């Protein structure tokens, strides 16, 4: 069994994955959403302090399995340094106490493996990663060969939902709330412009800061927002945010085949986005892979599944070499 720990942002999570059949034997996550909600975003110092309280509590529940662990997998990059340190310190302490090897897992790779929890991998696969920290289009050959096809020039997809939510006075994380309001809104009422439409550059990229500013100006033009206008803003914003993603995805695969397409990350829970990706995959005769809703946002089950793959390939990291890193550009080729 592999014990896995995730604490890269504001979710404390621990899982146990059986090595031979990848079965998830234990999984628990304690989110800090309500603690950060009032600040309109994650406060790193507060997140770290809460991890220090919740991680040991969850670990306590895994005690009956302690003698069966073969390795400890832990997210060590990318993320908030002060948050990552909490999980990595716990992993190191366990590694010493139980004489077990350590596996440092990249959080982005973890998200990719959220598609394979309790199952086998389906590589090669093209993956759209949409989270609070990232918007990336990836061609994943295998665990170690990942090509970055496009990334964001500024805000990420999920972050744009959170920032628009903050402007509307909604609590963090605003993504699911905006999606819910959008369902009751008129998505054509506000004609925001799709970002980077006229770019002739052959370089694919995403951008969300301009759209965020358009929405800000729209909100500021109202003295008081009635419920229907709020819903219409959410629907119009979501339509353009997704249209931008879809335009770039379609461009990326105009002359490129794709058989397996995955969407991962917290914002991959968005049903409106999934619907558009379904339609795109249908035109390409590709299969759309999605994670179970509970494994879209950060969790240790995906870290454990990636950890099993790394265990099988002997990818361990020595205690003194396991470092926390806030960014991780070098996983791509
Ligand atoms: O993957 P995740 O849990 O954390 C990071 O690694 O960043 O993603 C969290 C992000 C937040 O920005 C949140 O607002 C967004 O995912 N999100 C959504 C939805 N559910 C979560 N964005 C749009 N629609 C949703 N339904
Ligand atoms: Zn994440």
Between CA 55 and CA 64 the distance in angstroms is 16
For residue 52, the cross-strand partners are none
Residues β-bridged to residue 138: 127, 148
Q: To test the ligand 1 pocket, which listed residue (8, 297, 302, 327) has its Cβ within 8 A of the most ligand atoms?
A: 297
pTM, rounded to two decimals = 0.96
Atom of ligand 1 nearest to the CA of 134: 7
Q: Which of 132, 208, 265, 271 to mutate to test the pocket of ligand 1 (most atoms within 8 A of CB)?
A: 132
Dihedral, CA atoms, 47, 50, 54, 56, nearest 10 degrees? 100
| Residue matched to tokens 């366990």 | 94
Based on its alpha-carbon atoms, the radius of gyration of the chain, rounded to whole angstroms, reads: 20
Per-residue pLDDT of the chain (333 residues; tens, 9 = 90+): 999 999 999 999 999 999 999 999 999 999 998 999 888 789 999 999 999 999 999 999 999 999 999 999 999 999 999 999 999 999 999 999 999 999 999 999 999 999 999 999 999 999 999 999 999 999 999 999 999 999 999 999 999 999 999 999 999 999 999 999 999 999 999 999 999 987 666 689 999 999 999 999 999 999 999 999 999 999 999 999 999 999 999 999 998 999 999 999 999 999 999 999 999 999 999 999 999 999 999 999 999 999 999 999 999 999 999 999 999 877 887
Integer Cα distance of 157 and 208 in angstroms? 7
Q: Which H/E stretch holds residue 105?
A: strand 102-106
> Whose Cα sits closest to atom 7 in ligand 1?
132
Beta carbons of 17 and 23 less than 8 angstroms apart: yes
For 275, what's the count of Cα atoms within 13 Å in the CB-facing half-sphere? 8
- At residue 144, the 3 state secondary structure works out as coil
The tally of CA atoms less than 13 A away on the side-chain side of residue 48 is 12
3-state secondary structure of 40: coil
Report how far residue 112's alpha carbon sits from residue 289's, in angstroms, rounded to the nearest whole number. 10
């Amino acid at each position: 069994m592999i014990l896995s720990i995730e604490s890269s942002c504001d979710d404390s999570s621990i899982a146990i994955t059986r090595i031979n059949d990848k079965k998830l034997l234990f999984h628990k996550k304690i989110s800090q959403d309500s603690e950060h909600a009032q600040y309109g975003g994650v406060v790193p110092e507060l997140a770290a302090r809460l991890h220090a309280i919740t991680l040991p509590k969850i670990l306590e529940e895994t005690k009956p399995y302690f003698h069966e662990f073969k390795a400890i997998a832990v997210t060590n990059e990318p993320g908030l340094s002060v948050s990552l340190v909490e999980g990595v310190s716990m992993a190191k302490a366990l590694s010493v106490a139980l004489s077990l090897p350590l596996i440092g897992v990249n959080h982005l790779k973890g998200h990719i493996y959220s598609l394979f929890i309790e199952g086998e991998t389906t590589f090669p696969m093209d993956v759209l990663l949409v989270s609070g920290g990232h918007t990336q289009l990836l061609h994943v050959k295998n665990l170690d060969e990942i090509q970055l096809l496009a990334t964001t020039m500024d805000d990420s997809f999920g972050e744009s939902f959170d920032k628009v939510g903050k402007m509307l006075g909604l609590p963090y994380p605003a993504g699911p709330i905006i999606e819910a309001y959008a369902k009751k809104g008129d998505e054509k009422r506000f004609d925001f412009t799709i970002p980077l439409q006229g770019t002739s550059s052959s370089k694919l990229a995403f951008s969300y800061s301009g759209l965020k500013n358009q929405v800000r100006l729209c909100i500021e033009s109202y003295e008081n927002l009635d419920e229907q206008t709020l819903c219409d803003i959410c629907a119009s914003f979501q339509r353009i945010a997704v249209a931008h993603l879809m335009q770039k995805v379609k461009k990326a695969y105009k002359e490129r085949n794709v058989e397996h397409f995955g969407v991962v990350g917290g914002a991959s829970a968005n049903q409106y986005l999934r619907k558009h990706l379904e339609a795109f995959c249908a035109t390409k005769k590709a299969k759309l892979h999605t994670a179970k809703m509970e494994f879209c946002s950060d969790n240790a089950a995906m870290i454990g599944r990636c950890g099993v793959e790394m265990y099988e390939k002997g990818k361990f990291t020595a205690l003194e070499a396991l470092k926390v890193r806030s960014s991780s550009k070098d996983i791509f080729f």
